[in-house]
Amino acid sequence: MAFQGKKLINDPNDVVTEFIEGLVETYTGLQYLDGFPEVKVVLRADVSTATYNKVAVISGGGSGHEPAHSGFVGEGMLTAAICGDIFASPPVDSILAGIRAVTGPMGCLLVVTNYTGDRLNFGLAAEQAKSEGYKVETVIVGDDCALPPPRGITGRRGLAGTILVNKVAGAAAAAGLSLADVTAEAKRASEMVGTMGVALSVCTLPGQVTSDRLGPGKMELGLGIHGEPGAAVADLQPVDVVVSHVLKQILSTETNYVPITRGNRVVLMINGLGATPAMELMIAAGKAVPNLQLEHGLAVDRVYTGSFMTSLDMAGFSITIMKADQGILQRLDAATKAPYWPVGADGAWSCLLAGNHPPAKIPVPMPPSRSSKSEESLSRPLQLSQEGRILEVAIEAAANEVINLRDSLNEWDSKVGDGDCGSTMYRGATAILEDMKKCYPLNDAAETVNEIGASIRRVMGGTSGIIYNIFCKAAYAQLKANTKSETVVTAKQWAEAFEASIAAVSKYGGAVAGYRTLLDALIPAASVLKERLNAGIDPSTAFLLSSEAALAGAESTKQMQAQAGRSTYVSGEILASVPDPGAMAAAAWYRAAALAVKDKCQAS
C-alpha cells in the first residue's frame, strides 16, 4: 500500500486512474473515456459531438493538482479535462481523444498552462485535430510573477490563475459566443492575471519519500506547482509579512507582469496547495484584502478562497490577482455545474443530481479516417537478419540502462525539476522492451524506430514523452526518405537520421546547445559520429566514440544556466550540484546502445 509515500492505494501508478473513477462516481454530470490507463479524459456527460452547438473548452495537464482540472468540468466551465500522470503532461493521443469526444461544429478552445511539455503535447494535438477537420484555437496561460522576465525560451509558469481563465472561457462558450470570441476573452483574461506561491513544505510524489530540501523554520517563495524549488528560501515570517511581500511582487511596476494600477478593480484568489487548512487560507485572505485596499489602492470585487490548483500534499498557498471589469465579473459570476467552482446559486452542487447515474465511461472516439498497417508489417520477424540482431541488442541495452537509472534520475530531478524524470523514462523503457517482443519489425530499421515512437507516445507523458516521440518521428521520416524500399540502413544514413531528430527536437522544443537539456548530450554525439564516419573510422567504433562525447556533454550541463524546462526556475547554485537529468538519461541510453553494438560486431 502506498499513497503519498504512506498508504491508501496498492500501486502509485494507478493513483490518477483511481481518482478519476471516484470523481465520476461522485458527480453524476461527469464521465470519462474508456481508455485507461493511457487515455485519462474527464468530460461532461451531457455533451455529444453530434448535437453540441457551442464551443468546447478543454484544459488539462499533469495530475497532482486536484481539483484542477477535472474538478472544473461542467456546464459553464470546462467541457473536458485531459489528465496526465503525476506532474507529467498528458500525451498527444489523450488530448486528441478529448478533442474528438466533445468538439462539435463550433470548434474548441484549448487552455494550456505554460510548461514545455504541455505546450508541445497540446500544440501537436491541435495541429493533428485541425488536419482532421476540427476548428481548434489555443490560449497559453503564464501567470507566474515570482521570477524576473528573462527566462530563456520558457517564460512564466502557468499557475492558479489558469482556473480563472477557464471560468471566463467556459462562461463565454456557454453564452453561445463564436470560437474567435471565446478565444479573445480567454486571451484577454490571461493577460490580466498574476500569481505567486509560498510553500512551507515539499510535496510527496506517490510511492516516493518526501524530499528534505526545505529545512525546519524555512519557507520557499515563488515556487511552482510541481515540487520544483522556489525562487528563494527565507526564514518563516508572520502571515501578514508574507502576504504583503507576495502582493508587492505581483503588483510590482518594475516587472509589470499585470496591468494593474491604483484605482483598478481586482479579483483575489487565495489558493491552498494541498495541505493547508481552510482556517489558514481564510487568515491569508483576511490579510490580503485590506492590504490591497489600503496599500495598493485597489477595489477588491471578488474573493475566492479554497483549494483550486494544488501540489499534492504541499503546505502553503498562492495568491492570484486578476484585473476586473464588468465583463470579467459577469463571466466569473455566471452559473456553472463544475463541482469545484465555489460560487453560484446553480453552481457548486448542482451536478449532484438525483435519479439514474449515467454510464461512468464511454468509448474513446477514433479519428474520422484511420489508416493502419497490416498485422504482418507490425510483427516480430521469425528470423532476424544480421542488422535486425544488432538493432535488437542496441534497443535492449538502451532500455535496460534507463530502467537501471530510474532512481538516480529521480534523485537528480528532485533537485532541479519535479522529481519524476526517472519514473517517466522508466515507463517508456519498459514499454519498449515489452513491445519489442511482440511487434517490432526488427529487420526493418525505419519501421522499428517508428514503433519505438509509438510505444513512447502511448505511455510517456510530460516533456520527455513528446520530445522522444518527435525524435523518433523525425528519424523515421529521414530513414524512409533515405532508404526508399530498402530495409538495410548504412551508418551514414543512421547519422543523418540522428541529425534530423536533433533538428526536429530543437525546432519544436526551442532549445539549442547550452540550454541545459538532452540536446547537450545528443548534439556533441552527432557531431563526433559524423566526423568519425567521414574520416573512415569503423562504424561501431565511431558510434562508441560519439557516445563518449554524449556522456561528456551531459556532465557539462552542471556548468550551464538552464534556459528551457522547469530547471529554468532553479538557482544556479542548485543547478551546479547535479547534471541535467534529461541529458544524463540520453547519454546513458546512447552509451549503452553503442557498447552493445560494439560487442555484437566484435562477436560476429
Cross-strand partners of 306:
271
Of 303 and 482, more confident: 303
- Report, as an integer, the average pLDDT of 594-602: 93
Residues of the chain with CATH 3.40.50.10440: 12-349
State mean pLDDT over 380-394: 91
**C-alpha span between 106 and 468 (Å, rounded):** 33
Tens-place pLDDT, residues 276-316: 999 999 999 999 999 999 999 999 999 999 999 999 999 99
Lowest mean pLDDT among 14-28, 388-402, 481-495: 481-495
Task: Tell me which fold the domain 12-349 belongs to.
Answer: Rossmann fold (3.40.50)
Instruction: Please give the grid coordinates belonging to residue 370.
Output: 484511420
> Rounded to two decimals, what is the model's pTM?
0.74
Query: Hey, what amino acid is at 245?
Result: H
Which residues of the chain form CATH 1.25.40.340? 376-603
Per-range mean pLDDT, top range of 110-124, 215-229, 258-272: 258-272
Peptide bond just before 37 cis, omega within 30 deg: yes
Judge whether 189 and 163 are in contact, CB under 8 Å.
no
Residue 350 pLDDT greater than 80, yes or no: no
Highest mean pLDDT among 116-130, 234-248, 561-575: 234-248
C-alpha cell at 290: 485590506
pLDDT at 82 over 80: yes
> How high is the pLDDT of residue 228?
73
Give me the DSSP letters along 107-155.
-EEEEEES-HHHHHHHHHHHHHHHHTT--EEEEEE--B-SS-S-BTBT-
Q: Reply yes or no on whether the pLDDT at 367 is more than 80.
A: no
Closest CA to 56 of 100, 135, 109: 109
pLDDT at 461: 73
Q: Please compute the mean of the pLDDT values over residues 172-200 and round it to a whole number.
A: 97
How confident is the model at residue 73, as a pLDDT?
97
**Cβ-Cβ contacts under 8 Å for 361 (sequence gap 6 or more):** 24, 31, 32, 33, 34
Taking only the tens place, the pLDDT of each residue in 215-227 is 788 898 887 788 7
pLDDT score, position 166: 98
CA atoms within 13 A on the CB side of 480: 10
Instruction: With cut-offs at 50, 70 and 90, classify the pLDDT of residue 95.
Output: very high
pLDDT the model gives residue 298: 96
Residue 152: per-residue pLDDT: 58
- Mean pLDDT check: name the lowest of 75-79, 192-196, 234-238, 279-283: 234-238
**pLDDT on residue 526:** 97
**What's the CA gap between 81 and 63, in Å, rounded?**
11
Taking residues 26-37, report their average pLDDT.
85
Q: What is the pLDDT of residues 491-527, one digit of tens each?
A: 999 999 999 999 989 888 888 999 999 999 999 999 9
Considering only the C-alpha atoms of the chain, give the largest distance between any 2 of them, rounded to a whole number of Å: 80
In eight-state DSSP terms, residue 219 is: E
- At 204, is the pLDDT very low, low, confident or very high (cuts 50, 70, 90)? confident
Please state the CATH superfamily assignment of the domain spanning residues 376-603 in this structure. DhaL domain (1.25.40.340)
pLDDT tens string 136-163:
999 999 999 987 665 556 678 899 999 9
DSSP characters over 22-41: HHHHH-TTEEEEEBTTTB-E
CA 442 to chain centre: 31
What is the rounded average pLDDT of the residues 366-377? 51
Indicate the pLDDT class of residue 449, thresholds 50, 70 and 90: very high
338 pLDDT tier (thresholds 50, 70, 90): very high
- Grid cell in block for residue 495: 547519422
Report angle CA 310, 312, 313 to the nearest 5 degrees: 105
- Residue 184, C-alpha cell as written in the block: 479573445
pLDDT for position 566: 66
Q: How confident is the model at residue 14 (pLDDT cuts 50, 70, 90)?
A: confident
Task: Average the pLDDT over 62-80 and give the result.
Answer: 96
**Quick one: CA torsion of 59, 62, 63, 68, rounded to 10 degrees?**
-30
Residue 410 scores a pLDDT above 70: yes
Q: Which residues participate in catalysis according to the annotation?
A: 226
Please report, rounded to a whole number, the percentage of residues in the chain having pLDDT higher than 70.
90
Mean pLDDT of 405-430: 91
* Mean pLDDT for the stretch of residues 22-51: 88
